[in-house]
Amino acid sequence: ATAARQTLKIGLIPADGIGHEVIPAARVAIEALGSDIPKPEFHDLLAGFELFKRTGEALPEDTVETLKECDCALFGAVSSPSTKVTGYSSPIVALRKKLDLYANIRPVLSVAPSPDQQPDVDLIVVRENTECLYVKQEELTNGTNGKEARATRLITERASRRIGQMAFELALARPRKHLTIIHKSNVLSITDGLFRETVRAVPSLDSVGGRYNDVTIAEQLVDSAVYRLFREPQIYDVMVAPNLYGDILSDAAAALVGSLGLVPSVNAGDNFVMGEPVHGSAPDIAGKGIANPIASMRSAALMLRHLGYTKGADRIDKAVDEVVREGKTLTPDLGGTSKTQEVIDEVVKRI
C-alpha cells in the first residue's frame, strides 16, 4: 500500500500550549525528507481545551471528518483542566475512540555516548489503549460499614489479541525479537489471566501462519517489571501490557532517559496512525520559545516508520540523535540554553 501513494496526507493538530511550538518542528522535519516519502500534504486542524474555551467545542466534527481522509496525523498536546469543566471532555481520548487507535506505542531509547556504542535503554512499551480500568465504570454505594467504591476492569479476548499481534509484529522487526508480557495474574487470575493467555496464543493463530515463531516470549509481574526496568533495563526489548500497567510502565521508562521532551509515541489502529509526543501542554513554559521539539520530531519519525517509510524515519532519528549526542544545541530541559527554533534548525540541517 505504501508504494502506491502519490501524496501523504497528514493532519496536524497542535491543540494546546507548547503543541503550537512543537508540531511545526515535526512538519519541517517531514518536509526536509524530500523524495524519501510521497509528497506530504498538510492539513491544519483545530482541537483542544483552548478551542473549547473560545467556542464551546473541543473536537469539531470538521476535524474528525478531515482526519478520516488523511493517511496519518500528528497531535501536539492537550491541557487538562485541574477541576471538572462542564461539557468538556478530552479530544485525544475521543480521537483514539473515533479512529479506533487501539495501541499506544512508546519507544524509549537512550542516546549512546558514541555512535558505535549500544544505548543502555532501547525498548518499546506497547500499551492497550481501549479497555482495562479505562472503561471508567465506577460506582459508589453505601455499605453496612460505610461507603464502598467499585470499578469495572474489562479485558476482552479481541482487544488482547489485536494488541498482542501488534506487539509481535513490532518485536519481529527488531534485532532481538524479544517480547515480555506484563500482567499481575497471580492476583487477577481471570482478567490478567485472559490477557496473558490470549497474547501467548497469538503465534499459534492460523491467520499468522507461523510468522512469529522467531520471537522469544517472557512474562513478568508488573511490580517486578518496574523494579527490573530501573535495575537492568537492557533485559527488555518489546513489552506488552494492559492499559493501566502500560500507562505506568511507559512513564517510568521515560524517566530513565531524562526529559519528557525526548519521548515520542504513536496511537495506532489497523487503518490509521497518529504521532503524539508523550509530554503534555507544559503551561509553565508555553509561549516562551524554549520547548524541546525533539519528542515531536521523533513522533513524526515513528509515524512514518509505522507506515513503512523506514528510510525517512531513520533520517529524522539519526539527525536528532546526533544533535543530542553532540550536546551543543539543547533546550533548557536538557541543561542547554538554546531556543526551540535553534534545535529545529540544527536537526533539519542534518536531515
Residues at the contact surface with ligand ATP, assessed by CB under 6 A: 18, 77, 79-80, 260-261, 279-285, 291-292, 295, 331, 333
CB of 284 to ligand ATP, least distance (A): 5
CB of 302 within 8 A of CB of 265? yes
Check 16, 247, 317, 333 and give the catalytic one.
247
Residue nearer to ligand ATP on the CB measure, 66 or 331: 331
Question: 333 touches which of Mg ion, ligand ATP, none (CB within 5 to 8 A by kind)?
Answer: ligand ATP
Residue 163 contact partner, candidates ligand ATP, Mg ion, none, CB within 5 to 8 A by sort of partner: none
Burial class (CB in 10 A: 0-12, 13-18, 19+), 115: exposed
Q: Which residue is nearest to ligand ATP (CB)?
A: 280
Residue 336 touches Mg ion, criterion: CB under 5 A = no
Binds 312: which of Mg ion, ligand ATP, none (CB < 5-8 Å by kind): none
Q: Which of 42, 103, 28 is nearest to 70 (CA)?
A: 42
Q: 88, 134, 314, 318: which is the annotated catalytic residue?
A: 134
Which CB atom, from 28 or from 244, has the smaller least distance to Mg ion? 244
In whole angstroms, the minimum distance from the beta carbon of 261 to ligand ATP comes to: 3
Q: Are strands 122-128 and 238-241 parallel, antiparallel or unpaired?
A: parallel
Q: Which of 44, 62, 214, 223 is catalytic?
A: 223
Note whether 280 binds Mg ion by CB under 5 A: yes
DSSP structural state of residue 175: S
For residue 25, the minimal CB distance to ligand ATP (Å) is 10
Task: Measure the CA–CA gap between 48 and 207, rounded to whole angstroms.
Answer: 40
H/E stretch holding 240: strand 238-241
Number of residues that bind Mg ion (CB under 5 A): 1
Per-residue cell: 6 = 502519490
Closer of 206 and 284 to Mg ion (Cβ): 284
Start-to-end C-alpha separation, the chain = 25
247 is catalytic: yes
285 binds, among Mg ion, ligand ATP, none (CB under 5 to 8 A by kind): ligand ATP
Calculate the alpha carbon distances from 75 to 8, 136, 184, 285, 343 in Å: 16, 24, 32, 18, 20
Task: In angstroms, give the least distance from the CB of 76 to ligand ATP.
Answer: 10
d(CA 65, CA 189): 41
DSSP letter at 110 equals: P
Of 16, 71, 102, 184, the active-site residue reads 184
Q: Helix, strand or coil for residue 243?
A: helix
For residue 49, the minimal CB distance to ligand ATP (Å) is 9
Rounded alpha-carbon distances, angstroms, from residue 226 to 46, 141, 164, 170: 37, 34, 20, 21
Spell out the residues 6+ positions from residue 189 whose beta carbon is closer than 8 angstroms to its own: none
From Mg ion, ligand ATP, none, which one binds at residue 77 (CB under 5 to 8 Å depending on kind)? ligand ATP
**What is the binding site for Mg ion (CB under 5 A)?**
280
**Catalytic positions, written as ranges:** 134, 184, 223, 247, 251
